[in-house]
A and B are shown apart, each in its own frame.
Chain A
Amino acid sequence: MHGPTVSMIDEDLAHAILDIASRSTPLLAEVRLENRISRSIAIRAGQVSSVSSSSDVGMNVRIALPSGIGFASSNVVSRSEGSKLVKDALRQAKKGKRRSPVAFSSEPPVRTSWEVRQHKSLADVSVDEKLEHLQSIDSAVMKTGVKVQGRYYELKDWEVSNYFVNSDGSRIKSFIPRIKIEAYNLISAKGETEQSFREWAASGGWEKKDEWNLLEVLPDEAVMLKKQIEKGKRVTPGKYDLVCGPEVVGIASHESCGHPMEADRIIGREMSQAGRSFVSPDMIGKKVGSEYATVIDDPTVPGTYGYYAYDEEGVKARPRYLYKNGLINEFFQNRETAAKLGVQSNGSSRAETYLREPIVRMANTFVAPGDFQDDELIGSIKKGVLMNSFTEWNIDDKRYNQKYVSREAYFILDGELAGPARKCTLEITTPGFWGAIDAVSRKIELSSGECGKGDPIQGMAVTNGGPMIRLREVNLR
């Protein structure tokens, strides 16, 4: 035994609580039961720093009345606690006093079960085996001869079982395991430093770690950052052609396409926390980028960190074309935003755990592939920069002004890479970024991340990425 394992969910209990909730004849009642096993091990400078293992069981009830929405959750699982949650949620829904009555889009009831299979179950991997993997990464980084301080590596995994029922007749059972490795390194050379925070994550079992090849990737990163320090030169401020690698394309897709296209932001529900959006409901079909700017969010990509088959409201997941050929095309919708905007939900409702209300979220957001080879993008540039990855980044709360500072970048001269460009900075508007694209390569790469939104903030498993893209004549410094 390597810690707790996922136990069975009491489906009858969920039905019984739904029956109680349905007595109040709500617009909608939902009940979710969840079992969650989580484990983590962290090493610092090659030695064990912490080990944790937890098991959680809990449930929530959400009730919608015309006057408001009430949500109550608890980690006590029993019929009496369920009755209490129903009472709380109902009382809370009544106190909303909405001026515009609550409405949800009509969605077909679903009766199904889905799961992500593991070739090697995370529950069967010993702490020793996990430690050995992290220590072998640490050894490989040390063997580079690069001075790497910090060296904090953490491996986390979760297995989550869910049973969801609602008053529309949906009954959905699910199981999803996820695994993640985080790496914090500080590279020193010539009295200067560069920092690297990286994350790799997926849905699936222990086998997923092999796809990341961290025994090569992290040492390569250390060597690369040392070269950035030793040979990197600052960019003379001015206009350049810019090739963005998949990691940079991914963060831009997430921040300046994904977030502004969340319908709850667009209608203002996140206004006091994560903010609003430069996009308004009447902007469908409006130009935001060049014809090469097509950004998709697809929760159904197998094995990805952001994978899910049905969302938290029981709506089937599907790809969403957010920007399509430079035009604003489709917002992320849950059932409430869809009803407000007169459309159907596109399965965008997610919650971090049973303890939190479901809200509109991204999953796997990426730029659609084009027909160029990566080399062709670089080869076509007379004077420019290749920005492969980023460190500091941020964007304003309307998702219009963004900044990316490179972790790995190179000058391009006459179609060839011409040495490291250090801390190259792109500070640009959203239409400025997406409108400057004139070429997109074929090969897509995805990176994982945690997206923060909601109050209390909910960290959500997502991936971002795309192929390489070329931007013409943007200001860099």
Chain B
Amino acid sequence: MNRLTELAERVMESSREAGATDAVAEVIESYTQQVRFSNSQIDAVNSWTEKHVALFVAVGKRVVSSDVRDIGAAETIAKSFVEMAKRTPPSKSYGGVASGKFKYRTARPDKRLIQLKNPARFAYDSIDAAERAGANNVGGTFFVRHDKVGLASSGGARGSDERASSDLSVRAFSQAEASGHAVCCASRLSGMNAVKTGERAGELAVKAKNPVHGNQGRADLILEPLCLGSFVQSTSDMMSALRVEISTSMFVKKIGKRVASDEVTFLDDPTVDSTTTRLFDHEGVPTRKNVMIRNGILKTYFHNTSTAKRFKTRTTASAGPLIPTAFTFAAQPIPLHPIVAPGDWTKDEMIADTAHGLYLNNTWYTRYQNYDTGEFSSIPRDAILAIEHGEIVGAVRNIRVSDNMLNFWKSVDALSKSQEEIYWWDEAAPPSHLPIVRARAMNITRSS
């Protein structure tokens, strides 16, 4: 048992001694480096060091979670939270924490990434490559992340995990309104290709030159993985059982129903090699591959032990952070690494097969009128390329996709053979493996 798991066990046992009937302690140590750049130069180099214990305690059905930041006093603080839980009104729907004899795989983080001392060079490599490809103004971020986790639960979980990853996001401009965006996610330093990423952003920026106002009406959309990532984010979040319970989901009462076209199979698999590979969820349950949508039919929601009990099913090992975050409710099951299964098309075949459409590099600001029905709009950005009769004929700007998200997934009729891991800011998040997809006859609107 490593140092963090030992501490997690002491904190968990301390909670139990104080009277907790259930307890989960997750000790997290993280060091993150970030290089921010814009206007083709570095703006700032930032780093964050965090050492804390995410703690969940229950006394019967009385539950409290806490982010214990004073790691040296965590055992004592844990006892005070148990006392607090004793005075907290019960959560009648609480269903316990996972129990069992869990076995985990072994984490193998890349030591070269952990030891990386000069992240700035990746920023400059990508800037130079984008400019060589025709861009005149380049911005982005390069992250290097190193996380160590030790977890102990009263249900028997004892585990440690360690991840190292890097992600690069490059947005390149060739004109004030002509840009391209490319990303690279790598769990090993050897996989971080800053030159290729910069080059691709620069090439897209050149293709996006001299955009004309886009037209309203129906168009087939070919979405790059980065663009699809924004739709995957909101779609997968709505598969959370808690989102279903509070009616902020278009998947309510849709298990076993068609929610996408036959071509769409949607997975969540944090066991694949990725920047978010993890050995166990936040309850300590070993992660696994979950099929969320198979050939267009919704198979399950994301569950932790508590929601699974309420839905009379089993956890999908999708327990989210023990403490509420900016983007998740407390105790919300979450997607850990969404994957849209590939198809058998190439990008060029999709374009050649499209009579009237748009090729979308990226999008942002995907917002819903009503999560229950799925009406949304999203604003494509960076390279928006018009397709007529199987060929790209120019660039477009100032358009919006205004449609329904269920209709989007039901309209997908082609997926690429290739997949790419993507992550960008908080739009295309969490990191996911996605192909290029085509959705037929989506509604396009614009300002008037």
Contact = CB atoms under 8 A, between A and B. Distances in A.
A50 B376 contact: no
Nearest to B141: A455
A50 B91 contact: yes
A58 B69 contact: yes
Given A50-B324, A184-B246, A193-B370, A392 B375 contact: yes
7 contacts: A54-B67, A195-B368, A268-B139, A269-B38, A396-B379, A397-B364, A401-B400
Contact of A97 (B38, B93, B120, B323): B120
B153 to A, nearest CB: 17
A131 B89 contact: yes
B319 to A, nearest CB: 13
Chain A: interface residue count, which band? 35 or more
Contacts of A216: none
Nearest to B372: A193
Interface in B366-405: 366-373, 375-379, 381, 398, 400, 402
Contacts of B371: 195
A460 to B, nearest CB: 11
B117 to A, nearest CB: 8
B365 interface: yes
A22 interface: no
A28 B85 CA distance: 46
A71 B45 CA distance: 6
Given A394-B365, A394-B378, A53 B448 contact: no
B274 to A, nearest CB: 19
A195 B329 contact: no
Contact of B248 (A57, A195, A475): A195
Nearest to B380: A396
Given A51-B88, A74-B48, A96 B379 contact: no
B447 A428 contact: yes
Interface of A: 1-4, 40, 42, 44, 47-58, 68-76, 81, 85, 88-89, 92-93, 95-100, 126-128, 131, 149-152, 154, 184, 186, 193-195, 267-273, 275, 355-357, 391-398, 400-403, 405, 423, 427-429, 432, 450, 452, 455-457, 459, 475
Looking at A53, A391, A398, the one whose CB has the most chain B CB atoms below 10 A away is A53
B44 interface: yes
A76 B38 contact: no
Counting chain B residues whose Cβ lies within 8 A of the other chain, the interface size class is 35 or more
Given A100-B41, A150-B247, A54 B47 contact: no
Contact of A452 (B66, B141, B181, B426): B426
A239 to B, nearest CB: 10
Q: For B36, B46, B246, B381, which residue has the most chain A Cβ atoms within 10 angstroms?
A: B46
Given A49-B330, A452-B426, A273 B84 contact: no
A184 B248 contact: yes
Interface stretch (B98-106, B168-176, B348-356): B168-176
A32 to B, nearest CB: 14
A236 B418 CA distance: 44
A391 B93 CA distance: 30
B188 interface: no
A68 B247 contact: no
A1 B245 CA distance: 33
Nearest to B81: A53
A401 B214 CA distance: 12
A49 B331 contact: yes
A68 B137 contact: no
